[in-house]
Amino acid sequence: MASIQLTRILLSCKLSTNIALSSRTCCSFRRTRQLDFGPLLKRNFQNRKLTAIRSEKSGNEGSISSAIEGEENSGSISSPVKPGLMLGIDRDDSGSVIGLNLIPGDNEAIDTEVVSTVTKVKDEEIKKEKIETRVTYNIVFVTAEAAPYSKTGGLGDVCGSLPIELASRGHRVMVVSPRYLNGTSADENFARVFDANRRIKLQCFGGEQEIAFFHEYREGVDWVFVDHPSYHRPGNPYGDSHGAFGDNQFRYTLLCHAACEAPLVLPLGGYTYGEKCLFLVNDWHAGLVSVLLAAKYRPFGVYKDARSILVIHNLAHQGVEPAATFKNLGLPSNWYGALEWVFPTWARTHALDTGEAVNILKGAIVTSDRILTVSKGYAWEITTVEGGYGLNQLLSSRRSVLTGITNGIHIAEWDPSSDEHIAFHYSAASLSGKVQCKTALQQELGFPIKPDCPLIGFIGRLDYQKGIDLIHWAIPELMEDDVQFVMLGSGDPLYEDWMRSAETTYRDKFRGWVGFSVPISHRITAGCDILLMPSRFEPCGLNQLYAMRYGTVPVVHATGGLRDTVENFNPYAGEGRGEGTGWAFSPLTKDCMLNALKTAIRTYRDHKSTWEGLMRRCMQKDFTWENAAIQYEQVFEWALIDPPYIM
């Protein structure tokens, strides 16, 4: 509790510090990095903060914000304040003060509710200020997938919804992605996308490659699709039942070259985006964009005002191919070093293997102007040996431009009170529809209809990352209990087969839905009581955010974005009302996961009102994109303050 209070105080101090300064110096909130906090520190800021909170508690008429902001006002508060303790000062990379680490002098005076009220007031002021002072940009997302056109996982979700949020905030936003056609009903997703009548020739892979642009303007965003025969084939964007496509380097090299040309050649809505763009380069598939800007365009005076921001959704995939393929990428030969990658001796396949390769993600890390990843926790993890996948030293060397921003969710698409995929609707105020969703799901899955039986779900790619092996090993023990378990996923054929066979073994208790289905994923999210995510690593994770919005309590491995977003349940906090939104277990072992699951199950069974508290707290969490978009805008501003990358 004490640490929670401390954090909140720190947060609200940061906010109020920013406000106080911006109102005096006319600097915007998003420029805190450049502000000089020295004079502020000389004043007894801490005392003013505590005084403000106390004045609110004691029913003082003066407004909280004015008491904090105006030094003069602090004198008007009569109640004596026992001074607290300043433990330290938070500084950013440039040495500027960004927060004060305070311990309140009088615990009673620091009521969390009051503190959060103060924070809320400050938040609203920031929002107002943001609207007044906002700078808008031309933003170009480059991505291998964007929902609803294409989606295999979280990348599609993010690139399908963050652009819309940024557009709604006044930015001009284009998303460039391939026009995949696989001969199934999924092709319908492109039904409203039309030929933009612009064909261009790209220089790569030993010749000229002709591509066409397709376009749809929807929800304020220019959705631009690169068309080429290599994007038309059965399977998902990256592969089929035989594995990953062998020509993915070619397919995503085309995407990157085309994305660099799109702002220059496409007169969308009558005029082009032009050279002053911010490229959001998502994962390795788009990584070549940063390298092309630095190597192919800037040396010739093009895109000098543009910046590229690499967004890492998953460091495990880096786009590594043999060194000999470098010549195919359409880069000047003296840029080999930017992509050069040498495997350690132990990873080489034979005595003559020199381990030389090109690594596109590495090239993007070297040449991008800033680097973002999708949670603060993961931003740190990728700079460690354990989480850096060989790129930790390089990422550490770029720590000053590395930021973690937790993903948001598409709250209209994932809304239990209006979700088109679920049969019954509900909200935090009226939960009765949830149990109806549960029994509907039990019926759909062919389970015995038991409203009180804990129903546990898993949704995700069947991949090493997601910790499926742990579930596999834990299922026999878990199935001894009176529970039901449903898994939805596709990927590793080994686990697909196991899911099918487990269905036969545990006929009334286990369902393994092999495949990819958005409607089913919504119904599982709504119908389950518990969502399990034992991910080995998780840059952010979206399913736990969706689950919380649907009152489905997450049990997760405490890693990356899961640790950042799931607050461990503490039944004793809040005078017995409890605190937290789920269970975050560690270390990642079968027993530890089972313990957390069993505690969750016991709580569900034996402490109904506690469980309801958990559900409501989950549902009240704010994971809107707006929060994230404000932080993205801060990074955009930083990116444009610094000069672009030049070799």
Ligand X SMILES: Nc1ncnc2c1ncn2[C@@H]1O[C@H](COP(=O)(O)OP(=O)(O)O[C@H]2O[C@H](CO)[C@@H](O)[C@H](O)[C@H]2O)[C@@H](O)[C@H]1O
Residues that bind ligand X (CB under 6 A): 153-155, 157-158, 313-314, 374, 407, 459-461, 488-490, 516-518, 521, 538-543, 561
The least distance separating ligand X from the CB of residue 537, rounded to whole angstroms, comes to 8
8 vs 461, which CB is nearer to ligand X?
461
Identify whether the C-beta of residue 426 lies closer than 8 Å to the C-beta of residue 607.
no
- C-alpha distances (whole Å) from 193 to each of 214, 280, 392, 435 are 6, 22, 40, 40
Closest CA to 153 of 466, 548, 573, 547: 466
Between 39 and 515, CB nearer to ligand X: 515
Residue 253 or 314: the one with the smaller Cβ distance to ligand X is: 314
CB of 588 to ligand X, least distance (A): 15
What is the distance between the alpha carbons of residues 478 and 509, in angstroms, rounded to a whole number? 10
Q: Quote the least distance from Cβ 158 to ligand X, whole Å.
A: 5
Phi, psi of 299 (to 5 degrees): -60, -20
| 56 or 157: CB nearest ligand X | 157
CB closer to ligand X out of 211 and 556: 556
SS3 labels along 52-70: HHHHHHCCCCCCHHHHHHC
- Could you give the CA distance from residue 356 to residue 402 in angstroms, rounded to a whole number? 27
Residue nearest ligand X (C-beta atom): 153
Considering the complex, what minimum distance in angstroms separates the CB of residue 375 from ligand X?
Answer: 8
Minimum distance from residue 316 beta carbon to ligand X (Å): 8
Nearest in space to 99 (alpha carbons), one of 23, 22, 24, 9? 9
Query: In 3-state terms, the chain is what percent helix, strand and coil (to 5)?
Result: 45, 20, 35
Judged by beta carbon, residue 404 or residue 460, the one nearer ligand X is: 460
**Which residues does residue 532 pair with via DSSP β-bridges, in sequence order?**
555
Quickly tell me which residue has 């642009």 as its tokens. 213
Partners of 585 in the beta sheet? 557
Rounded Cα gap, residues 425 and 308, in angstroms: 42
- Kindly state the smallest distance separating residue 328's Cβ from ligand X, in Å: 27
| Rounded distance between C-alpha atoms, residue 28 and residue 34, angstroms | 10
Q: Would you say 403 or 517 has its CB closer to ligand X?
A: 517
The Cα–Cα gap between 500 and 509 comes to 13
> To the nearest 10°, the Cα dihedral for 41, 47, 48, 51?
170
Least distance to ligand X, CB of residue 190, Å? 19
At 638 the three-state DSSP class reads helix
Closest distance of CB 558 from ligand X, Å: 14
**Is the separation of the CB atoms in 319 and 285 below 8 Å?**
yes
- Cross-strand partners of 488: 459, 513
Q: Nearest distance from residue 83's CB to ligand X, in Å?
A: 43
Indicate the residue among 294 and 520 with the shorter CB distance to ligand X. 520
Measured CA to CA, the distance from residue 85 to residue 88 in angstroms comes to 9
CB of 544 to ligand X, least distance (A): 8
Which structure tokens are listed for 309?
A: 């921001």
CB of 624 to ligand X, least distance (A): 15
Comparing CB distances to ligand X, the nearer of 538 and 633 is 538
Please check whether residue 608 is in contact with residue 338, taking contact to mean a CB–CB distance below 8 angstroms: no
Nearer to ligand X, 534 or 541 (CB): 541
46 or 406: CB nearest ligand X: 406
Q: Are 84 and 68 in contact (CB under 8 A)?
A: no
